[in-house]
Structure formats: structure tokens, C-alpha cells
Structure 1
Amino acid sequence: MKYGVLVFICFAVTLLSCRNDDDGGPEPIPPSLLSEVAPEDDEKIREFLNTHFYNYEDFETQPEGFDYKIVIDTIAGENADKRPMMEDAKTMKFNVSSSHFGLSAEEENIEHTLYYIEAKKGGGGSPTYADSTLVRYQGFLLDGTQFDESKDFSWTDISRIAARGFADGYAQLSAGTSDQIVENGDGTYNINNSGIGLVIMPSGMAYFNRSPSGLIPTYSVLMFQIELGLYVEGTDHDNDGIPSAQEDLNGNGFLGDDNTDGDDEPFNTPPRPNYQDPDDDGDGILTREEIIVENGEITFPDADGDGVPDYLDPDN
């Protein structure tokens, strides 16, 4: 089996699995536990990485006409001596809560492992997971099923990504630089020093018990190749003066559960986590007016000295 691997971005639509109860009527099947699925996913990923290789030799020698696409094949037969992907893979650990999927928060801080390979280092810096990025992508399941592709570069950011492992993955890669953009003459362009990498994420860092399309079953491990073109350093989604990456108050790499005034938001409106809320504490004073920004440095005043900065303290 041989196939190229690039990156996927899409939004999740939850499908409810049902079974019949004793009366013959449908009864929802409760979702599996993160603590059960995470080790199962990790075993699948490690087995895949140990039994497959990618065209690392092409990336090392860069033959004439090479298209810089990652191609994966099984280690067998004439390829029996190839280097397994596991030897090139690096890992990052992340904690995931069931509440991230709208489920009961009884499971908090379940450790998940993200695997990534940097096949081609870009000529620029690395974004944070919260920065807007210019990428090309294609996505596959571990069995080779392709579920999405973007042949041209497109801008994306954390507010549009349902599979958090995608952003956590591109944050480990290096981007290209704007001086290396080349027009192709057909309305598309290349970035000659872009970065290219492979990211494999467990279902808890993807869609878990959700199925965003018929091609992605529930509890699926997802595999992405990311071509990282450019990024916006210090992306500030709500323009409140604080880069979105710095609005991760609990430091878990997930911005959706940092919502200082969440208890006071109207019940019939979508919640606005801090990175999307220009008034983080809901006191009627914009966050931008409760911080001090000078020469790119941010100071967080605490007028009443209670240890809570003004922009997070509605009682100040």
C-alpha cells in the first residue's frame, strides 16, 4: 500500500450511535472513555510507525523534479531494509478533558501523545498553536483512506480547527518566508522554503466520538502532512491586545476552556472564551483598556492588589 499524506481541516458534526433497549426502542450508547481509548490509539500509532517508512531518502537527496510530497509504504519485501518512521518521529504530550467534546468533565487531564516528523525544515520561524497559518494539506486515516485535500495554500487558525492536534502539530514545524513566494502563472503559488511535516494524532486530539464525515469513523486516529507556508506571529483573534496564545490561562494548550466570565454569559448564546472575547472579565471595560502595551511588552495592572489582574477581575 502506498499513498501520499498531506493535512486536513474540517468542522465536526456529532452523530449519535444507538442500540435497542429491552423495549425495542433506541437508547443512546454512552461514549467510550478517554482513558480507555487513548492507550488503544497510541498502540495503533506506534504499530503503524514501526511497520511503515516514508520517502526520507528523497528528502535527504532531493532528486531533480522532486515534488516534496511525503509518500508512505509498508516495510516488507524489497523495502524490508527501510528505516521505520518511528525512528524519525518525535512526540509531544497533551492533557485532554472529556469536556472538550461537550461531554461530562468527569475525565480531566487524560494524557495523549501526538507524533510528528519534520521531513523538510522551513526557512522561517515556528508558529504557536494559536497563530494563523498559511498551509496546504491532505488528510488520511491510517488505512490510507483520504478524507480531504487542499491543493492550494489557504489561511486557517485555531478558531476554525475542530481537530486540535492539527494546530499542535504545525506548531512543531518551521514555516517558510514571504521573500520565497513564487507565482506559478495560473493563480497559484509556491513558497520555496516552506516546511513540510507529518503529524499523527490520537482520536482524543481529533474528533473522538464524533464523525465529521462519512469518511471519518468515530474514534479515528488521523494522519496529516502539513506544508507550512507562512504564519501571523502573535495572532490576536479578538484584537484585545493580548496574543491568543497568551490567553491559555490553564496552560493546557486548549483555548476553548479558558472563559473568565463564562458563568455570567447569557445561556442562549454561544460561549466566548477569552481569546474571542474583547472584555475577558465581562465588567464592561474592554480588556485593551485594562492592560498596558508598550514596545510590544504587555503589563497587567492589579489595582486592588488581590493577585488577579484587572482585565480578569470584574470586582476591581
Structure 2
Amino acid sequence: MRFGILVFICFAVTFTSCKKDDDDDVVVIPPSLLSDVEPEDDETIREFLNTHFYNYEDFDAPPEGFDYKITIDTIAGANADKKSLMEDAEAFTLNVSSDHLGLSEDEEDIPHTYYFIQVREGGGESPTYADSTLVRYQGSTLDGTLFDESQDFVWQELPSTYRGYGDGVSNLKAGTSDQVVDNSDGTYQITNSGLGIIVMPSGLAAFNGSVGTAGTYAPLLFKVELGLFVEDTDSDNDGIPSIQEDLNGNRYLRDDNTNADEETFNLLPNYLDPDDDGDGVSTRNEITDDDGNIIFPYPDSDGDGIPDYLDPDTN
């Protein structure tokens, strides 16, 4: 089932209830702090990376009939001399705040590190963390328990996936459209696609939200094949590429919402909002001329340094 990363997770507070004497009072256990969980997750991840390897030798010299699948095993016994995942891992750090995860605690910009391993370099370019991507993937806990996968290529909007996943995929290079091969069974493959491994702490995934059988506060591992991507994806078709909707530049699009104070029930971050400033005039109309051509730099009618499409005082 594709329930883990295809739709942004609504993070529910984990709680345990019990009886107090003979009444029905409920004891609510608040979520752990990001600042407490992150160091524990990082220690767990680093230990895993130092004690496990992937089948890099198969990728270095592919045997006949090799299916280009990533397999991970423990460095022990006959595999005691294998190169660890850590030796190939690149570390990337993102700041996470409690409101990103719907938590009540007031924590801001807690650094979280995820690890990316390039298994096969793709033949094309890399997407941004704001793009739409064509991928095959498999998600598991560090002990190998599978919770989500797609064996066929599917389209994913990276801002709507786990944050560590979306940012991690942006480190891959995609394949190219001229290398798409139709298989006899109706499926297809992209022969120069990029493959990689992403290992992330729970704060860049579901944190206190349950990830299927993985439970809560679970560091996650994804094996990803990046086939193609849409350059300068515009998720809401408002004329502004989604990557430009990251106004605060923190590589997280869901906290950029110009008119959040006016939205009561349906909160739409700018990359999903066709009227970013909520003034009743669509963003596209505020950045185009009479012939429908996009004007760049974007118009700023009152000269206050805020383009019209983000300024409710202009339309």
C-alpha cells in the first residue's frame, strides 16, 4: 500500500489512557521533544550505517541478468570486509520546528541530519525539493520492516512527501526520456535512471505519527529510483514555479503561506494556493500582461518591495 509518503501525514498526538481509581480521567502523554529525539535518532542511524553495506560490487560490475535492485545486509561473517554505508554517505542538515509537525511545543530550528548514498548516477539532471518526480521506491525501518513501496513508477510531488525523503530525492539525478524502454508486460523501465538510499531521523519523517508497523519516532530508510522529473514544477498552476514559493528559503514549502491569518479551515501554503495573498485576484492575473505573458520581475505596483501577487494592498 502507498500510504506512507504519497500524501502528507497528518501528525496525530500519541497518547495512552488509563483509569485513575474509579473515574474516567485520561492521562495524556505529550509528544517527546524534537531536541531530545534527534540525538538518539542520529546515534541509531550512524550505528546502522557503520554496520551495514549495500551490494555495491554488483553495481560496480553488473553480473549477467542483474536486476539493479539495492540490497542491504549486515557487515559480519563472510561479509566482514565489506565497505560500510557510512563510507559512501553524504550528510545533509535541515532545521525542523515544532509547528512543522503540528506539535504544541515551542521549538524552532532544531537541526536534523539525513544521510544520502548515491548508488547509480542518473543520466539526466537533478530535481529540486519542490518538483514533481517519477519514481519507484521502497520504504522500511532500519531493521528491514517494509511499510511502503511502489514497484512501478509513480508521480510524486516532493513537497507533499516526508521532508527527508523529498530533500533526499533532490540529490539524485534522473534518467532521460530517450532511455524509456517498454517491457512486454506493459510496464516500462528507464535504463539510465538514478538510484540511491536515503536514511532519515523521525523528525524528517512522521516523528510521533505512526508509520504503519514502524510505529512512532522511527528513523526510516528509502531505496529510490528516480526516472524523470518536471523541471520548475508549478503545483498550483499559478505561474510561479513551486521552488520560488519557498519564501523563507528553509527548503520547506508548507510554512510559506502569505494569507494564513485569513484562512480558517483550508490552510493552503503558497505552492498550492492560486491566490497567494488572498486578495481575490489570482496570482496568475497579477503577474501577467493583457496577452497572458508572465512579467518578470514580477510587478510591484506600489513600489514597496513586495510583488503584487504577495501584497493584498495591490491587485
Q: 1:292·1:299 contact (CA, 8 Å) conserved in 2?
A: no
- How far did residue 15 of structure 1 move? 6.1
**Aligned-pair distance for 1:158?**
3.0
Give 1:92's aligned amino acid. F
Determine the C-alpha separation between the residues in 2 that align with 1:47 and 1:39.
12
Letter in 1 for 2:102: G
Structure-1 residue corresponding to 2:60: 60
TM-score (norm 1): 0.91
Deviation at 1:301, TM superposition (A): 2.1
* Correspondence list, 1:1-316, <5 A: 9-11=5-7, 12=9, 14=12, 16-20=14-18, 22-23=20-21, 25-104=25-104, 106-158=106-158, 160-161=160-161, 163-213=162-212, 215-265=213-263, 267=264, 269-292=265-288, 298-316=296-314
Sort the Cα spacing of 1:8 and 1:264 in 2 relative to 1 into closer, same or farther, 3 A. Answer: closer
- TM-aligned CA deviation for residue 106 of structure 1: 0.8
Offset at residue 70 of structure 1 (A): 1.0
CA distance in 1, matches of 2:4, 2:135: 10
Unaligned runs of 5+ in 2: none
Structure 1 position 315, deviation (Å): 1.4
State the distance in 2 between where 1:111 and 1:234 align.
Answer: 27
What one-letter code is carried by the residue in structure 2 that aligns with 1:69? K
Tell me the distance in 1 between the aligned counterparts of 2:30 and 2:293. Answer: 52
Other structure's SS at 1:28 match: coil
The CA distance in 1 between the partners of 2:91 and 2:214, in whole Å, is 24
CA distances 1:78-122 after superposition (whole Å, capped 9, x unpaired): 111111110100011101111112112611111100101010000
- The Cα RMSD (Å) is 2.0
For residues 227 and 143 of structure 1, the distance between their equivalents in structure 2, rounded to whole angstroms, comes to 21
Instruction: Judge which range, 222-231 or 141-150, deviates more.
Output: 141-150
| Amino acid aligned to 1:90 | E
Q: CA deviation at 1:255?
A: 1.0
Per-residue displacement from partner, 1:103-162 (whole Å, max 9, x unpaired)? 12611111100101010000110001111111111111001111122111111113542x
Q: Per-residue deviation at 1:251?
A: 1.1
What is the rounded CA distance, in whole Å, between the counterparts of 1:249 and 1:21 in structure 2?
48
SS of the aligned residue for 1:42 comes to helix
Separation in 2 of the partners of 1:168 and 1:137? 15
| Secondary structure of 2:27's aligned partner | strand
Whether the 8 Å contact between 2:133 and 2:158 is mirrored in structure 1 is no
Distance 2:159 2:281 in 1: 24
CA contact (8 A) 2:14 2:30 kept: no
With over 3 angstroms needed to count, the CA separation of the structure-2 counterparts of 1:29 and 1:105, relative to structure 1, is closer
Larger strand proportion, structure 1 or 2? 1
1:35 to 1:15, Cα distance in 2 relative to 1, 3 A: closer
Q: Distance in 1 between matches of 2:126 and 2:88?
A: 19
In structure 1, stretches of 5+ residues that fail to align are 1-6
The 3-state SS of whatever aligns with 2:214 is: coil
Cα displacement (A) at 1:312: 0.8
Equivalent-residue separation in structure 2 for 1:82 and 1:20 (angstroms): 49
Tell me which of the two structures has the higher relative contact order, counting C-alpha pairs closer than 8 angstroms and 6 or more residues apart: 1
3-state DSSP of counterpart to 1:100: helix
TM-score (norm 2): 0.92
Q: Which moved more, 1:221-230 or 1:145-154?
A: 145-154
- Letter of the 1:233 counterpart: E
1:96 counterpart letter in structure 2: V
Secondary structure at the residue paired with 1:186? coil
SS in 2 for 1:20: coil
Alpha-carbon distance, 1:17 to partner: 1.9
